[in-house]
């Protein structure tokens, strides 16, 4: 295959997140449903038959992702080299899912460049967790993912037509350190709230019931205060009640919070401006649509895979 690929270049975009809609445990397995937003980072992969790889020093997980992608897809006995570039303004360490853009984008790009066909999301999920715990934005729509082990990946359905008012206080959480030190006993005590939130979210996505999605996100956001307290979450809940937002989402290993807004309830920009005035000097406020996850392949004409190309078939590992 490499003889016909030559200087094949693949460009892959994945959405950032406003943390997660729900995160917790099911049956003792840590899992999450990410909150993908309409803000994208891009990974460009160029593959040749030469040896050696050039990867961005600012994104150390990219080189790890290249190694696992090659171990999975490179032809036996053939030296494969190339270059990975990351083009992304998505901030790091706050809950925007920037590492998943890097890792999953690299896995999709290297896999597609090596074989001419993108790997499926179950494969990408299995490989991604070898690098780090990973967001479910690697899969299409809104997906439930065992983000530490890849024990399961289930596409729940398309994203409802909602806007996310992102509240960004800056700061940073070391997600790798957080996951290493995660108090699984505390998560176990929260299991009833997690089951309620995941069940509500599953039903809400399945029926496109935006109110249920908002309720599920709020349950999860408040429950997680026992694991990673964030004063912005309490403030966001008060603001949500004042403006009539559907609920609150948060980064469960970051600093972000967000208000879930039904666009039929009024102009989201007016609401965001009011929220920004109330939180002046404390946070940066951005507005993005809630979108589906999964890769967007862009660029060369031969990259004709539609997005999301495997939807609506659920994929469960």
List the chain domain ranges: 2-298
Which pLDDT score, from 0 to 100, does residue 77 have? 57
Q: From CA 317, how far away is CA 268, in angstroms rounded?
A: 38
Rounded Cα distance between 252 and 208, Å, is 24
Is the pLDDT score of 294 beyond 70?
A: yes
Q: Which residue has the higher pLDDT, 10 or 75?
A: 10
Quote the percentage of the chain above a pLDDT of 90.
Answer: 73
**Per-residue pLDDT averaged across 144-160, rounded?**
97
- Residue 310 confidence (pLDDT): 33
CA distances from 289 to 38, 128, 235 (A): 5, 26, 22
DSSP per position, 73-129: HSPTT---EEEEEEE----SSSSS-HHHHHHHHHHHHHHHHHHSSPPPHHHHHHHHT
Residue 163, φ and ψ in degrees, nearest 5 = -110, 150
Supply the pLDDT for residue 179.
59
Cα Rg, the chain, nearest whole Å: 19
Residue 313 pLDDT greater than 50, yes or no: no
Domain 2-298 top-level CATH class = alpha beta
pLDDT per position as a tens digit, 26-56: 999 999 999 999 999 999 999 876 778 999 9
Q: Is residue 18 scored above 90 in pLDDT?
A: yes
pLDDT level of residue 8 (50, 70, 90 thresholds) = confident
Exposed, middle or buried: residue 184 (CB in 10 Å: 0-12, 13-18, 19+)?
Answer: exposed
64 touches 99 (CB < 8 A): no
pTM of the model: 0.89
Give me the mean pLDDT over the 225-238 stretch: 94
Contact 275, 289 (CB under 8 A): no
**Rounded mean pLDDT of the chain?**
88
CA distance 248 to 213: 10
pLDDT of amino acid 59 = 87
Instruction: Find the mean pLDDT for residues 64-84.
Output: 84
The 10s digit of each residue's pLDDT in 233-287 is 999 999 999 999 999 999 998 999 999 999 999 999 999 999 999 998 889 999 9
Distance (Å, whole) CA 264 – CA 22: 24
Confidence of residue 172 (pLDDT cuts 50, 70, 90): confident
pLDDT tens digits, residue range 175-202?
A: 666 555 566 677 788 999 999 999 999 9
């Amino acid at each position: 295959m490499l003889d016909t690929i030559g200087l094949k270049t693949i460009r892959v975009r994945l959405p950032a997140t406003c943390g997660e809609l729900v995160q917790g445990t099911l049956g003792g397995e840590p899992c999450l449903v990410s909150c993908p937003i309409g803000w994208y980072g891009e990974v460009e992969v160029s593959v040749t038959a030469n040896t050696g790889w050039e990867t961005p020093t600012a994104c150390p997980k990219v080189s790890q992702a290249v190694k696992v992608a090659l171990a999975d897809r490179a032809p036996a006995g053939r030296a494969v080299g190339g270059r990975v570039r990351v083009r992304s303004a998505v901030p790091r360490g706050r809950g925007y899912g920037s590492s998943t853009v890097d890792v999953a984008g690299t896995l999709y790009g290297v896999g597609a460049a090596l074989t001419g066909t993108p790997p499926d999301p179950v494969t990408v999920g299995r490989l991604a967790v070898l690098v780090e715990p990973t967001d479910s934005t690697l899969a299409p729509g809104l997906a439930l993912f065992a983000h530490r082990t890849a024990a399961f990946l289930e596409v729940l359905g398309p994203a409802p037509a909602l806007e996310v008012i992102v509240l960004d206080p800056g700061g940073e959480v070391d997600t790798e350190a957080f996951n290493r030190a995660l108090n699984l006993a505390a998560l176990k005590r929260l299991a009833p709230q997690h089951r309620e939130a995941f069940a509500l979210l599953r039903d809400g996505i399945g029926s496109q019931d935006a109110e249920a999605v908002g309720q599920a996100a709020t349950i999860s956001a408040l429950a997680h205060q026992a694991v990673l307290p964030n004063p912005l979450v309490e403030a966001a809940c008060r603001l949500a009640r004042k403006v009539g937002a559907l609920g609150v989402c948060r980064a469960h290993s970051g600093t972000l919070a967000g208000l879930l807004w039904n666009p039929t309830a009024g102009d989201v920009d007016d609401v965001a401006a009011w929220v920004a005035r109330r939180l002046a000097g404390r946070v940066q406020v951005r507005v993005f649509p809630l979108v589906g996850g999964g890769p967007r392949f862009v660029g060369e004409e031969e990259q004709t895979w539609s997005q999301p190309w495997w939807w609506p078939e659920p994929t469960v590992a």
